[in-house]
Amino acid sequence: MVQFSDIPVVRHVGYIEVNTAFQNDVSPLKVDLIYGTFKSEDGSNYILPVVKRAENMVVNDTLSHDYLSPAGIESFSKLACRLLLGDIENLWNDGKVFGIQSIGGTGALKIGAEFLAQHMNCTTVYYPDPSWEMHGSIFSFSGFQKKIQYRYMNRETIEIDFEGFCEDISNASVDSVVILHACGHNPSGLDLSKEQWRTVAEIMKERKLIPFFDIAYQGIASGDIEEDTWAVRHFHSEGIEFLCAQSFSKMFTIYNERVGNLMIVQKSGHNIESLKIHFERIIRSIYSSPPNHGARTILQILSNPKLYDEWSSSFKAIAARIIELRKALRKALEEEVAFKKWNHITDQKGMFIFLNLTDSQVEYLRNFHHIYMINCGRVNVSGLNFTNISYVAKAINDTLR
Ligand code: PLP
């Protein structure tokens, strides 16, 4: 019989390891560029004021601790799907679009992966190289036997390798699932052009692949919540069936409330009730039903025109601040490290700057300069501020010399 003490020793890798080291570092110089969360100029965590107000309304007016149904609050999911596709009234009524409230974007990916493995006999998932670190493990924990990373970024030029991307998905077998970052690609900050999205949609249709969008940065990439859904809307207009995992963590600065939605778009809606039951069974067997507070807060904002306007217009300021910080870091690096090109810092979009450092360079920054980022040199832009940018640029110079 296996004893607990027989279990092989492992250690944290990735975010958790880096974050633990950051928390244990007592240096006053330390800089946190790890997680994709918004920070104010003084480095403290930022919460959108409209979210605080909506939370108070929920607590005062509507808070109930009854169980939600496994699929969560339907009116929340409907408004979440509307954020992605615009007017969905008829599609929703016909069962061609539906949503399932999830535990963050991670939960949406997880229940989607379980559904694809159990009911669509999918065994292969394609996801970009590089990608958000959890994509591979979510799908292998759900029984996918093959995880294949398609070429996405050329590491020499820090540009999209579009030819490689198309070649790799053109070779995928029928019914492979392909994860697509809808906007603000994590970690590269490189998004496809509309023309490139059109080509990808064509290939996916022709090869009979199953698109699984992941959207965690809607509004944050371009500053406009509609513009950032262009790819999702294009696939819909092409009549393609797909899934889309939505994370509300960053869009509402509500990370630990764990709010997300899984949107399913299908050609015919005749079997909608039974599809929902399949999802509910999956959810019952993992966590039974989702939490209430965060989703109610978001529902409050999405269903109240005044709060909605305030929330949706906040992305302009967020995107503008990100652009300002990108420009400042590029300028500081061009001054400090003139032998390298830094244009990619302002060419990339969204929350992350991809510095393309080696693991040992990232470790050096951590050990000698108390600057913390995940391997590959992915920087959370909003962890930078006008006090620490010059320190970070000097440390990068020291590291690259
Ligand atoms: N997908 C991507 C691309 C992400 O970057 C993240 C979080 O960083 C997620 C999904 C997970 O989102 P959540 O925190 O809502 O689970």
For 359-368, the pLDDT digits (tens) are 999 999 999 9
pLDDT at 63 over 90: no
Ligand 1, from 102, 139, 186: best to mutate by most atoms within 8 Å of Cβ?
A: 186
Distance, CA of 246 to CA of 81 (rounded, Å): 9
- Average pLDDT in the 101-130 region? 98
Distance, CA of 292 to CA of 15 (rounded, Å): 27
SS3 state of residue 213: strand
Residue 302, pLDDT score: 98
Ligand 1, from 15, 33, 38, 106: best to mutate by most atoms within 8 Å of Cβ?
A: 106
Q: Which conformational region is residue 215 in: left (phi greater than 0), alpha (psi within -120 to 50 degrees), or beta?
A: beta
Please pick, among 197, 214, 311, 349, the residue that the annotation labels catalytic.
214
Question: In terms of Cα–Cα distance, which of 144, 114, 163, 51 is closest to 280?
Answer: 114
% of residues, the chain, pLDDT over 70: 100
Q: How high is the mean pLDDT of the chain?
A: 95
pLDDT at 148 over 90: yes
pLDDT at 176 over 90: yes
Residue 132 known to be catalytic:
yes
Question: And the tokens for 8?
Answer: 């092989």
Runs of H (alpha helix) within 160-304: 162-170, 194-207, 230-237, 272-286, 293-302
For ligand 1, atom 10: residue with the closest CA: 105
Residue 380, pLDDT score: 95
Residue 349 known to be catalytic:
no
74-85 vs 230-237: helix crossing angle, rounded to 10: 90
Residue 214 known to be catalytic:
yes
- Average pLDDT in the 50-62 region? 92
Select the more confidently predicted residue: 127 or 12: 127
Give residue 185's Cα distance to chain centre. 8
Distance, CA of 302 to CA of 158 (rounded, Å): 37
DSSP 59: I
Task: Give the global pTM.
Answer: 0.96
Give residue 250's Cα distance to chain centre. 8
Residues 254 and 248 sit within 8 Å (Cβ to Cβ): yes
CB atoms within 10 A of CB 352: 25
Q: Which residue has the tokens 């590491």?
A: 155
Residues 6 or more apart whose Cβ sits within 8 Å of residue 310: 50
pLDDT at 13 over 90: no
Residues 329 and 392 sit within 8 Å (Cβ to Cβ): yes
Distance, CA of 393 to CA of 382 (rounded, Å): 15
Question: And the tokens for 362?
Answer: 């990232």
Residues with CB under 6 A from ligand 1: 36, 104-106, 132, 181, 186, 214, 216, 247, 249, 260
Whether the CA torsion 192, 197, 200, 201 is positive or negative: it is positive
Distance, CA of 233 to CA of 230 (rounded, Å): 5
Report how far apart, in Å, the C-alpha atoms of 41 and of each of 36, 325, 345 are.
15, 10, 19
Residue 391, pLDDT score: 96
Residue 213, pLDDT score: 98
- Average pLDDT in the 89-106 region? 98
Q: Using 50, 70 and 90 to split pLDDT, how confident is the model at 214? A: very high
Question: And the tokens for 30?
Answer: 């330390």
104-108, 109-113, 176-180, 270-274: segment of lowest average pLDDT: 270-274
Residue 338 CA, ligand 1 centroid: distance in Å: 34
